[in-house]
Amino acid sequence: MQIPEGTQSVLPHHHVVGLGAGPANLSLAALGANTVPGGVALFERREGPAWHPGLLRTGTQLQTSWIKDLVSLADPCNPLSFLNYLVSTGRIYAFLNAQYDAIPRLEYARYLAWASAQLGTVNYGTEVAEVDFSGGRFVVSSASGPLATADHVVFGLGTRPEVPACFEGLGAGGAILAEHLEAHLSTVSSLPYEQVIVVGGGQTGAECVLHLMQRGFRDIRWIGRRQWFAPMDDSPSANDFYRPTYLRFFQGLPEDIRARYVGEQTLTSDGVSMVTLQQLYQANYEAFLSEGRSPVMMLPGRNVVEVAERHGSIALWCERDWGGRERHAARFVVLATGRRQAALPISSRLAGLMELDAGDEPVIDSDYSLRWKHAETNRMYVQNRSRVGHGLADPNLSLLAVRSAVILNSVLERQAFAIRDEQMNTVWA
């Protein structure tokens, strides 16, 4: 949205504006609080702090270490560290004595809300509809008009649930997104031996299966495309992929090699936690001991290709890896089928000034900036959108602070944060 030159002067102006207030941009704002003039202003469409609110069930934990918080890998003395959060809220000893291997997901959500409150620069309930460029500044606008101007913009918009095409068009209450499962179960009566289907063989799918078992369901069919419900590789050698030194090596590879490596390394990020798999298998086994039947039927190696809704029931047809089709039916189906990137709210005029790759996607440089006409003076950055360009660590929580530090060093045009990763036993090149 272009605005008259004189109007810009009455709008709030920020050196850096971030769109979205999830972990990525909260990390950026936390590290930028004392380095960016005026701090980093964030605009968030939600009405208040929230992080995957439908997936914060009891027993669910992060798949990354608590040391990999918003700031510690780049600035361990920062007051917005997870450790300071625990001390400040008086729960440090209770947390230590609980002997968690990983942070409970609910705790992490509370940590993010605490960090947001400490920052005081997050504008909740403000959805940005468009970013344009006018008069040497970015213009950030909502649907009702301009909100602010900025020298630099960082897009940290997160992801949206991915719904396979065959499920589109189903009536309400038929296909339930994983994040809406608890809300659905609290409003719809169901019988324990009523069949329910979970589609998606990753961590979220496994958690949905466990949750249904805990709610008393005893006829659950779990469908996944892989040949097995694969555990996440959390070994020391796999974690070498989530280090700054490996990131620098990865970025120097040809694009076709990077794409192949991302595919080969998928289970270092997208598998099921071993603890979750063990809980599920043990619960299934113990249910058999007490009830004479296992409540969960596991169906790997299957891809749902057709869906139909008839008489209040949903029928699925799956193609099997080894050939042939099979049919399953249930009153409702839970979809844990991955996530996709949110669209960038960029004006068509601004988009026309950007450099695109062969797939018509914006070109992202090593510092996470987009290539465009005025990048020398005004830069746009993106977070969580460059798996092939920056590896599996990019959409992962592991290197939040490192990525934010790289972006801020670029914005400030100096090394405000030193990224040190010097003791390496693995040699890639």
Provide the pLDDT for residue 159: 86
Model confidence pLDDT, tens digit, residues 112-167: 999 999 999 999 999 999 999 999 999 999 999 999 999 999 999 988 888 888 88
Query: Taking 70 as the threshold, does the pLDDT of residue 172 lie above it?
Result: no
Is the CB of residue 134 less than 8 Å from the CB of residue 150? no
The C-alpha atoms of residue 157 and residue 20 are separated, in whole angstroms, by 5
| Phi, psi (rounded to 5 degrees) for 411 | -60, -45
- State how far the Cα of 294 lies from the Cα of 284, in Å rounded to an integer: 5
Amino acid at 236: P
What would the mean pLDDT of 12-25 be, rounded to a whole number? 95
Q: What is the pLDDT of residues 89-102, one digit of tens each?
A: 999 999 999 998 88
Task: For each of the domains in the chain, give its residue range(s) and CATH number, in order of start.
Answer: 13-158+342-412 (3.50.50.60), 165-232+270-335 (3.50.50.60)
Q: Report the b/e string of 217-227 with b at 16+ CB within 10 A.
A: bbbbbbbbbbe
* 351 CA to centre of own chain: 25
Task: Place 404 in a pLDDT band, splitting at 50, 70 and 90.
Answer: very high
Local confidence band at 62 (pLDDT 50, 70, 90 cut-offs): confident
Q: At what angle do helices 274-291 and 203-214 cross, to 10 degrees?
A: 30
Q: Is the pLDDT of residue 1 over 60?
A: no
Q: How confident is the model at residue 6 (pLDDT cuts 50, 70, 90)?
A: low
Cβ partners under 8 Å of residue 373, min gap 6: 353, 354
pLDDT of residue 169: 75
Token pair of 176 as six digits: 């339930």
Model confidence band, residue 3 (pLDDT cutoffs 50, 70, 90): low
Q: pLDDT tens digits, residue range 239-266? A: 999 999 999 999 999 999 999 999 999 9
